[in-house]
Amino acid sequence: MISSSSELLTLQQALGHQFLSPKLLQQAVTHSSQARELEAQRAGAERAEDNEQLEFLGDAVLSLVTTEELFRRFPQFSEGQLSKLRAHLVSKNHLIHIAERLELGKYLRLGRGEEKSGGRAKTALLVDALEAVLGAVYLDAGLEATRAIILKQIVWPELQHFLTLGTAGKVTDYKSALQERLQAGGRPQPAYALVKESGPEHRKTFTIEARLLTWSNGEVEFTAKAEGSTKKNAEQDAARQVLEYLDSRDSQGEPV
């Protein structure tokens, strides 16, 4: 665990923001399990701070900045297209990659139970911590500093990827793109299967597998696994992974 103010300097460097109040960043990486343990040890002392409220704030700032940037950059898009693109950019499936790149897992302050259950690698905890960090930056330095981090770390790299591929307008319709591609190649459609459901009723996480079948005998050639807040979102991300697999085959000159 890395959580002292001095040890969080590396995270600040990765973010590109030096905190005037390092305690805000320390709170942002403190999970509720750690806070409740501290309260139990203090026996009646004041409430220990965790990152839940910062996550709430960071989520709102992320949505605002992303919405404004998409509105500015894509005046030709319909409301539906903008909504789909924003939904992807603020989704767990996208944010987990940023959290992992920043190595947020090693900075988390977890209770013993979460530590033992592999909390440092859990998608939900990492994404929550990322949103909490954004909330902490907002309180520490205001909207413009937070906007700069969001655009540089979260929005611009992904938009550039979609613009390069020419798919920014249909970013969330990977299932249809995969269906069309397989039909054109005379291959069977993928099989989607729900393999896991976790979390409370109001905040479930669904794990979906998309299985790419061979054209000859219907055996499974490739399996993609994805998580999402809905089955549809998870299916879309799994379909995206299958498309990336097919693209890698094409680049190597292998028959699809």
Catalytic residue (one of 59, 69, 140, 209) = 59
CB < 8 Å & 24+ apart, contacts of 154-157: 154/62, 154/66, 154/89, 154/94, 154/95, 154/98, 155/65, 155/66, 155/69, 155/89
131: annotated active-site residue: yes
Catalytic residue (one of 55, 131, 235, 237) = 131
59: annotated active-site residue: yes
Q: Active-site residues: which are they?
A: 59, 131
